[in-house]
Amino acid sequence: MLGGQPVRPQGPPSWPLPDDDVLAGLQQAFQSGQWGQYHGEFVERLEQRLAQYHHVSHVMLCASGTIAVEMALRGLRVGAGDEVLLAAYDYPGNFLTVHALGARPVLVDVAPENWNLDAGRLERAFTSQVRALIVSHLHGGLVDMTAVMDWAGSRGVVVVEDAAQCPGATIQGRRAGTWGDVGILSFGGSKLLSAGRGGAILTQRTDVYQRIRAWMNRGNWIAPLSPLQAAVLLPQLERLDERNAQREKNAQRLRQLVSDIPGLKPFRNRTEGTPGYYKMGWQFDAAEFGMARATMTAALRAEGIAFDEGFKALHQGRSPSRFRAAGPLTEAEKAHHGAVILHHPILLGDDDDLAQVAEAVRKVQTHAAVIRERCEMP
Ligand SMILES: *Cc1c(COP(=O)(O)O)cnc(C)c1O
């Protein structure tokens, strides 16, 4: 940023990885002709593999994680006049999907240690209008699903579990995406399982599955996943556990390497489990680190490390008529200003890659005064 040599001149690792077994999948799709067909056995095979892997009875592949959330809510008959709870710090598409159904988002504050949904705040958010809850595990955070499901059961609230950022994660001994009435995954081009686009709906509930199928089938399927996409996802699913373990090991190592740097604390989980790292989340303190968050992420990107600012909190920049806030959103406000995320591909790197991340963060922090002086508006 000041004109010197970046720590990582080659920049962040690219994604998706050039897997040989993905190439083999593409070749099979080509040789069988499925690459150009509406239907093909790769789709059924992937649905079966995902069902086995998650121990659920029904899986439906679809065009994106976002449409999967919409279908989950439709399948649960959420619609006009209903209230839907979600964390005030969440994927913005989830908020917009609630509106797309004519329902009203109710924003719940997040937990101080990982800025994911705080199950302890659900009861205060409840009214007789509340029909559903969307719960996402974000940036390596895990939500206490035992507490969520106990509460939801006590109030008759249906649960959509958004595992788009953590396929293969486990929470309290169970796979992410299998706790709620419906779970969803995303296969978008930057996600841990990538097919450029795509998503999946997971459920044990036959009634919900049938309703979603009926909605999606207008003689032709309206938002399908193609056999070609399924062909590249199948081999990635086989390697998911191994890669998640590698990412977790490297995330732990990275936490140690930067633990003495002021102003940057990793998300911590009180809930037992093994997270998924689409992004690795950090709590950034501008005063302690010595510069604004936007300056810090720009400086790290200039060093070749893929740090970014997190989501905007959902109540920020929106008219209060578009949602109901369930109490003060103090922690979501902190997340809005202080969430920093590291993109996942570097977490499959080696010790040298991790050392470079730590070196870059240290370098930027050490030069905070001069970076602030030259690069920040007065
Ligand atoms: C990416 C993402 C989605 C949506 O997935 P798409 O396939 O991009 O539509 C939903 N929820 C979360 C938490 C995500 O990160």
Residue 156: predicted pLDDT: 98
Domain count, the chain: 2
212, 238, 264: which is the final residue of a domain?
238
**Does 261 lie in the same domain as 158?**
no
**Does 259 lie in the same domain as 201?**
no
Q: Are 174 and 183 in contact (CB under 8 A)?
A: no
Instruction: Tell which atom from ligand 1 comes closest to the C-alpha of 197.
Output: 7
* Tens-digit pLDDT profile for residues 126-141: 999 999 999 999 999 9
Instruction: Tell which atom from ligand 1 comes closest to the C-alpha of 186.
Output: 7
Q: CATH number, domain at 138?
A: 3.40.640.10
Q: What is the DSSP string of 21-58?
A: HHHHHHHHHHHTSGGG-S--HHHHHHHHHHHHHHT-SE
Verify whether ligand 1 is closer than 6 Å to residue 91 (CB atom). yes
Verify whether ligand 1 is closer than 6 Å to residue 169 (CB atom). no
Verify whether ligand 1 is closer than 6 Å to residue 165 (CB atom). yes
Instruction: Tell which atom from ligand 1 comes closest to the C-alpha of 191.
Output: 1
Residue 375: predicted pLDDT: 85
**Does 347 lie in the same domain as 228?**
no
* Rounded distance from Cα 65 to ligand 1 centre (Å): 5
* Rounded distance from Cα 339 to ligand 1 centre (Å): 18
Q: CATH number, domain at 274?
A: 3.90.1150.10
Distant-in-sequence, close-in-space partners of 222: CB < 8 Å, separation ≥ 6: 216
The domain of 342 spans 241-375
**Does 172 lie in the same domain as 251?**
no
Residue 376: predicted pLDDT: 80
Which residue's CA is minimally distant from atom 3 of ligand 1? 65
* Rounded distance from Cα 84 to ligand 1 centre (Å): 18
Report the run of H or E that residue 293 belongs to, with start and end: helix 293-302
Verify whether ligand 1 is closer than 6 Å to residue 66 (CB atom). yes
Verify whether ligand 1 is closer than 6 Å to residue 188 (CB atom). yes
Q: Give the Cα separation of 373 and 368 in Å (integer).
A: 8
> Over the Cα atoms of the chain, what is R_g?
21
**Does 233 lie in the same domain as 252?**
no
**Does 246 lie in the same domain as 228?**
no
What tokens were used for 141?
């955070």
213, 238, 263: which is the final residue of a domain?
238
**Does 219 lie in the same domain as 328?**
no
Q: Which residues pair with 135 in a beta bridge?
A: 161
Strands (E) in 104-239, as ranges, are 104-108, 130-136, 158-162, 170-171, 174-175, 182-186, 199-203, 217-218, 220-221
**Does 166 lie in the same domain as 285?**
no
Instruction: Tell which atom from ligand 1 comes closest to the C-alpha of 199.
Output: 7
Q: Which residues pair with 281 in a beta bridge?
A: 341
Q: Which residues of the chain have pLDDT under 70?
A: 378
Verify whether ligand 1 is closer than 6 Å to residue 282 (CB atom). no
- pTM exceeds cut of 0.95: yes
**Does 143 lie in the same domain as 269?**
no
179, 214, 238: which is the final residue of a domain?
238
Residue 378: predicted pLDDT: 63
* Tens-digit pLDDT profile for residues 94-119: 999 999 999 999 999 999 999 999 99
Closest to 235 measured CA to CA, from 27, 39, 34, 64 = 27
Strands (E) in 220-361, as ranges, are 220-221, 264-266, 273-274, 279-284, 307-309, 324-325, 339-343
Which residue's CA is minimally distant from atom 4 of ligand 1? 65
Q: Are 313 and 272 in contact (CB under 8 A)?
A: no
